Amino acid sequence: MQTDRLFKQIKYQSLAQGAVESLRDATMTGKLSPGTRLVERKAGHGGIMRRATLRTAFLRIALALLCPVCLAGQGLFGTISGVVTDPTGAVIPGATVTLTNVDTNVTKTLTTNNAGVYNATSLNPGAYKVEASAPGFKTAVVPAITLEVNANPKVDLTLQVGATSETVDVIAEAPLLQTQQSNLGQTVTQQQIEQLPTNRNLFSLIPLTAGTSQQAACDGCGNNGNLRINGDRPRNQDYVLDGTTIAAPVFGGQAVNPAIDSIQEFRIETNSMSAEYGKAGGGLLIAVTKSGTNELHGSLYEYNRNEKLNARNFFEDPTKPKNPFSRNEFGGTIGGPVIKSKLFFFTDYQGIRQDASSPVTSVVVPNAAFRGGDLSALCTAGFDGAGICLDAKQQFRYPGTATPVTFNRIPAAQISPISQKFLEAWPTSTTPGGNPGTSLLSFDRPAEATTHRFNPRIDYNLSQSDQIFGAFHRQWGHNISYPGNLIVGPAGEQIGRSDDYALTVGWTHAFGSSMLNNLRLGYMHRIGHRTNLGQGFTSPSDFGIQGVPDCLSSVPDTAGGKKCGTPGMSVSGFQGFSTGGILYEPATTLQISDTVTRLVGRHSLKIGGEARRYAIDNYQPNEVASSFSFTGSQTGNAFADFLFGVINSGAVNVQNAMVSTRAWSYSFFVQDDFKFTPKLTLNLGLRWQYDQSFRELNNGLAFFNPFTALWEQFGVNAPDTSFDPSRKQFAPRVGFAWNPTSSFVVRGGYGIMYPSAVGHGRAGDGQPGPNLLARTPFSAGTNWLKLPAITNPSPSAIAAPIPVTSNVSFSSWAPRNQTAPYFQLWNFTLEKQLGGSTVAQVGYVGSKGTHLPINYAYNICQQTPESTASFGFDATTSPYCPLAAQKVLAAGGSLFDLVVTPGYWGLSNSTYHSMQAKFERRFSRGFAVLANFTWSKLIDDSSSDWGGFWSLDVTGQDFYNRRADRSVSVGDIPVRLTIAPIVELPFGPGKKWLQSGVAGQVLGGWRTSAIYTVSSGSPFGILDNSYGYCNAAHTLSNRPMVIGDPLPPGFDQRIEHWFDKNAFDFSGNCPAPGLPTPTGTFDTKKAFGNAPRYFSNIRNPGVNNFDFSVQKEFTVPVRERMRLQFRADFFNLPNHPQFAEAVGDLLNANFAIITQTSLSNRTVQLGLHFYF
């Protein structure tokens, strides 16, 4: 046996003989890695005999040659790997390596392979003790290595000759440098999560990572709607919690926001990820929850904010009382063993209660006289003897007649009973308004929110080969608001409800020491729910409106009642009743994944696959309780129209069933992390992803094809999906990590990422057809006492194609041959270790987005003389634009108003280049700091999937000159710096000074932390929303002509005038000849402006924000492990106003003026936290 081992040693020595000789020389001189020392301990004697401290480089050259990389499972685990050698540097096959979790005492025992390599994969993040032993050698022990999520620290052990019963402690910290992986990212530790001023929101820590940006500052950054990572688009990131995606299938962002006290660790992956990862444009956000340990532990806490501690908003009136505000956040955690060293539990609860109100002033409502039908105040010219107003323009008439209403007084018997019901719900005021018949109403509009969070987890160590865990995360609650600006009470109340949860079950099985299988099942469920105003309290029938069907007859009753809510009603010149709108949208993601890791010589091979099933249901009929408009077209006065009950227009929507869409997504990958040379690791991978198009279960979706002029109903006269999915979504990953010295690493990588098709437009092509959703308009002149009966649409209507004449409006269309959007990511990075706890990094990071989504006007007409020539006064169809509508001018013929069919297509692109730097000091001697700096530029021609899907790009101008829309992106933040220090004062027990006594108790236990953020402002865009004939689609936005310098030398840039508005000309002319010259007032003739989409030299105010926390900890005398912490968090401590963007619309009276802030002024949060 000894002979076999000797031959194996000789074999592996021959692979790198020179390297082994140099290592032997190093060990013979008694040198080890910096900061590492050996401590010899003889079993049974209890004495410790210290050897002299030994210093040298790690045994890297020959040892690293044979140590492959084993990546952790998808966003959940970490890996510890290394090589076991003897004092000469020869590898030791068959050595026993045992890793013990310090908190749970769970062990994993491995045997080194023929290369002396061990790989412990699928380890929960935490502290580990690593032991190695072999016959004839002393046992080597590394007492504590901290393992982070997705990390792979290299821990090599050298066994000294001697008895196995003798132990040598190798005292070393976890490696600071990542020498075996090319990916970029940032791990936020549990200490940073707990001690930094985080706003009690885990995802507010994302901006601490280099390459992240947001278009503006945000309080808490809850759903990260404007988050970008290395040039990707908002909502293109994937969120992973305990290995299961929690990205919302519809809206993007995270569906579940776990309580911050339940989180063990948080990591943001930003570039060159393993092929295991996909479904994101540029970023992956990974959170791992805490697990139980062998000791019972937990916490209780409460945090409070209120208006008394907070500073006023910059634009608030200092003479008025502060708006009431109160927020209480409370809860607790507990975790421990069920069976020691075997079965563990952890759970928590968090509750949030928030109440606020804001003043609403100068709301115009009718006065008492108008309510009684006395509208005589309208006639300021006086009445003649017959009661007719001397000014005919101030006289109104009976509906549909020329008969004047004498003295402008409507007899009480002729006031509609429906109008009387609305008047009863319409708030009153005695404050006179500026116009006849008006009063001004002021009131406080309340808002309240309640949130519950619950995060239990179980970890079961079945055996050395099998581990099982399960985690459940639930978040539910509601908020109550009054968005109508009018009614405070049940009739104006809108309730938003949520009930979101994620479940993960994982099983890890080891097939010996060299192969591991990870099987995981995940399920995420999210409900987006919003009631109509007054839903559950009122309905159209309560106001006397007949014929409107019960809007909840065929869907779940989500409001605790059968009623539809308050009807919408508007009267020109007054604040009416908002229409509101119901939303009920449950969405689920089922996720199944399996990966196998196999160690083969210098290769660590990983292969796996994943399947996700998306289910999205939608019930969202606007105007579900009906809506009515009164404009004066029937009597000559809008309020008279209302009192008579004769409408100008109205409508009701009826949706008889859910729109239920389903799709599968599949992905497979292979990853090879290959130790090519002792100092060079190659990370090679390939991923394939297939995203199905969504299918509606009832064939209820349809769109209007602008090229065939036909309704195409999915599954009837068109395919049952909206586009043909691509089977060519191959995503290669190539990276390297080269460490020429023990303290220096060079990394680089390239990869392709395909964002998820869900939540970014491709899931929503098409619209409910008339078999699911019907809109019934009411004609002008209709009395709302005599509305026609409305019935539900029949689901059987899907038997035949929809007629073109169907009373259904169309909104979008998409081609079937869409190309999948993708991002190319790359980086080249240098990293240097500075001492035992500090690392510095600098690098170039870039990306390019291709075929990114944007809405496109498919049937838009070109602006040529032929397509816009005069066809006389009659409404005719242009032969060049057969589906375009037209406007008939007062003179000069007709001009075609290009009413387009917008559609979704991958025509946009982006480029991102940056220099990124990081300085990180791990907590040591009472101090830690994380600093990140980004210098970047992002260019694109459309800046958002979200805005691009729901509407045409608001700053797009000419679809036939897409190049003119290319500019800096709205998400371009050239400079961004974040600094996050944690400082413990060196006083009190266990510290350097005042370790005992009263002074030590008073001055000890103090800690401060901060997050300082400085960033450039986002670029500014200027619009001319008065449109014009050159852009007659009326769905895009004109931009002006630039005729001067918007920021000339010496310009006094202030919030009152952020730029020189005289630098722009909004009165351009169409350049093409042959266009008719309009003489009417429909629009002014305008040319496409030469202003860019966004100006790189005109920017909105940047961010200069300093959050600060001071904390004091007290040890509870009853038990040593109990401690009480008081803390005060100050957000925007200097009370520096963070201004929002200036108004960029010419039609707005505040053009070029900043009128609001993007961040609250100073906010104070007080907290009390008890740990046990």
Q: Measure CA of the first residue to CA of the last residue in the chain; give whole Å.
A: 52
On whether the CB atoms of residues 111 and 94 are closer than 8 A, the answer is yes
CATH of domain 2-171: 2.60.40.10
Domain with CATH 2.60.40.10 in the chain: 2-171
User: CB under 8 Å to 187, separation ≥6 — which residues?
Assistant: 148, 149, 150, 151, 265, 266, 267
pLDDT at 852: 87
| Residue 644 CA: distances (Å) to CA of 379, 385, 414 | 19, 25, 7
SS3 207: helix
- Residue type present at position 666: Y
CA distance 465 to 508: 8
Give the containing element (helix H, strand E) for 81.
strand 78-85
Return the closest-CA partner of residue 1163 out of 119, 75, 219, 236.
219
What kind and span of H or E run contains 460? strand 457-461
Taking the CB of residue 53, how many other CB atoms lie within 10 A of it?
A: 12
Task: Please return the burial class of 1056, using the count of CB atoms within 10 Å of its CB with bins 0-12, 13-18 and 19+.
Answer: exposed
Q: Which residues contact 726 (CB under 8 A, 6 or more apart)?
A: 690, 691, 818, 819, 820
Model pLDDT, residue 230? 95
What is the CB neighbour count within 10 angstroms for residue 1035?
19
3-state secondary structure of 1001: helix
Among all chains, which residue has been given the structure tokens 């009614």?
487
Phi-psi region of 715 (alpha: psi -120 to 50; beta: other; left: phi over 0): left
Pair 873, 828: CB distance under 8 Å:
no
Q: Looking at residue 50, what is its pLDDT?
A: 33
β-pair type (284-289, 238-241): parallel
Mark 851-868 as b/e (b = at least 16 C-beta within 10 Å): bbbbbbbbbbbebeeebb
pLDDT at residue number 836: 83
d(CA 129, CA 126): 10
Burial category of 341 from C-beta neighbours within 10 Å (exposed 0-12, middle 13-18, buried 19 and up): middle
pLDDT of residue 777: 73
Q: CA–CA separation, 819 vs 849, rounded Å?
A: 13
CATH 2.170.130.10 domain span(s) along the chain:
186-289
CB 741 within 8 A of CB 673: no
User: Look-up: residue for tokens 């936290």?
Assistant: 1169
Q: Please state, in angstroms and rounded to a whole number, the distance separating the CA atoms of residues 828 and 844.
A: 5
The burial class, CB within 10 Å (0-12 / 13-18 / 19+), for 743 is middle
Of 213, 203, 202, the closest CA to residue 1103 belongs to 213
Q: Which two tokens stand for residue 566?
A: 């308050």
**Cα separation, 691 vs 347, whole angstroms:** 35
CA-closest candidate to residue 149, choices 202, 75, 207, 208:
75
So what's the pLDDT on residue 855?
Answer: 67
- Give the integer Cα–Cα distance in Å for 1006 and 994: 13
Give the pLDDT means over successive 10-residue stretches in the chain (1172 positions).
Answer: 38 35 33 34 36 34 34 64 83 88 88 82 87 87 85 84 69 70 91 92 90 65 66 88 86 84 92 92 90 93 95 89 94 95 95 92 93 95 94 92 94 93 90 93 90 96 92 94 75 86 93 88 90 80 76 56 77 86 87 91 90 88 80 93 91 77 94 90 96 84 69 79 86 96 94 77 52 69 70 42 46 72 96 92 97 68 42 38 37 38 70 97 93 97 60 58 85 95 90 81 90 93 63 58 90 92 73 36 53 90 94 82 93 92 84 89 95 92
Q: Which residues pair with 659 in a beta bridge?
A: 618
Q: Give the CATH number of domain 186-289; options: 2.170.130.10, 3.30.465.10, 2.40.110.10, 2.40.160.60.
A: 2.170.130.10
Element at 642 (helix H, strand E): helix 638-644
**What letter does residue 645 receive in the DSSP assignment?**
T
Taking each helix axis from N to C terminus, what angle separates 2-15 and 17-28, rounded to the nearest 10 degrees? 110
- Distances 1101 to 290, 548, 968, 1133, 1153 between C-alpha atoms, Å: 40, 50, 16, 18, 12
Measured between alpha carbons, how far is 226 from 238 in angstroms, rounded to an integer? 14
> With contact defined as beta carbons under 8 Å apart, do 916 and 193 qualify?
no
